[in-house]
Amino acid sequence: MGDGADGPVLFISDLHLGPDRPDLQALFHAFCAGPARQARALFILGDLFDYWIHPAQAGESAYAAPLGDLAALTEEGVPVYLLVGNRDFPLSPAFLRRYGITLIPDPSALRLGTKRVLLTHGDLLCSNDHRYQRFRRIIRHPLTRFLLRPLPYPWLRRLAQGLRRGSQREVARKPITITDAHPDAVAAALRGADPFASPLAPHQILIHGHTHRPQWEEITPGQQHRLVLGAWDSAGAFYGTWDGKAMNLVFFHGIREPST
């Protein structure tokens, strides 16, 4: 084990790492060399990458570097668990295993101390966004994936970039009531209703990302809470920590330039 055997459990999401953002790559490196080193475990709740479509991406430094950071972490004895997001859902368990990372399903339930916790990326909670939910079903359908798999990487990359631009335009156009998590879906997830069924339900804490609206919210007084993780940007990122007793939302500033 690393030094983190009784350290906190950390939760991050929505890093959106890729060639356009060397600043985020540096921030993530600092996170892996910093707080994550002291952790008992690290959970990545989706959208680690701006997009993931092909294992060939592992040959590009923008992807190889963060994968290397995670491999170094697991070699230190910090277990890393990942559930996929809407941007990186083709990441496969066999591919991640090469870096010591364990793929877990979305949703996944776990027990932290006395709390029953449900982890999900968050896109399933945007149940009012019917157009997106339809797209999600189609793009993740085994037949679609079977048809896309043989396409060469450059074609898939162009397709992914086009989809990403389309989705950015669409999110900008849609009102917040559609792109945010729906309260009914949050309640359903905590209750363990379909598609959030789990033997641990009902849950006391729901942790998710995707909506980029970090907060700690009380859903039912003293009973049920929701932790929303933040998206990473050049200033830093909100991530979740479980210290053995309580859940906290913490801001990671990265490494500051010394002021002169």
Alpha-carbon gap, residue 252 to 232, rounded angstroms? 9
User: In the complex with Mn ion, which residue's Cβ is closer, 8 or 209?
Assistant: 209
Give the footprint of Mn ion on residues 1-60 (CB under 5 A): 47
State yes or no: residue 214 binds Mn ion (CB under 5 A): no
Q: What minimum distance in Å lies between the beta carbon of 88 and Mn ion?
A: 9
Determine contact, residues 50/24, Cβ cutoff 8 Å: no
Query: Which range binds Mn ion by CB under 5 A, 34-42, 107-115, 210-218, 234-242?
Result: 210-218
Whole-Å CA distances, 28 to 10, 38, 97 = 13, 15, 20
The site map against Mn ion for 143-162 (x = CB under 5 A) is --------------------
As to burial, measured by CB atoms within 10 angstroms (0-12 exposed, 13-18 middle, 19+ buried), residue 176 is: exposed
| Of 117, 126, 127, 86, residue with least CA distance to 226 | 117
Query: Which range binds Mn ion by CB under 5 A, 18-26, 184-192, 193-201, 209-217?
Result: 209-217
Residue 238's contacts (CB-CB under 8 Å, 6 or more residues apart) are 214, 229, 230, 249, 250, 251, 252
Residue 254's contacts (CB-CB under 8 Å, 6 or more residues apart) are 26, 27, 30, 31, 236
Query: How many other C-beta atoms are found inside a 10 Å radius of the C-beta of residue 228?
Result: 25
State yes or no: residue 179 binds Mn ion (CB under 5 A): no
Query: Which range binds Mn ion by CB under 5 A, 77-85, 92-100, 158-166, 192-200?
Result: 77-85
State yes or no: residue 86 binds Mn ion (CB under 5 A): yes
Q: What minimum distance in Å lies between the beta carbon of 7 and Mn ion?
A: 27
State yes or no: residue 210 binds Mn ion (CB under 5 A): yes
State yes or no: residue 240 binds Mn ion (CB under 5 A): no
Q: What minimum distance in Å lies between the beta carbon of 121 and Mn ion?
A: 6
Q: Interface residues with Mn ion (CB under 5 A)?
A: 47, 85-86, 210
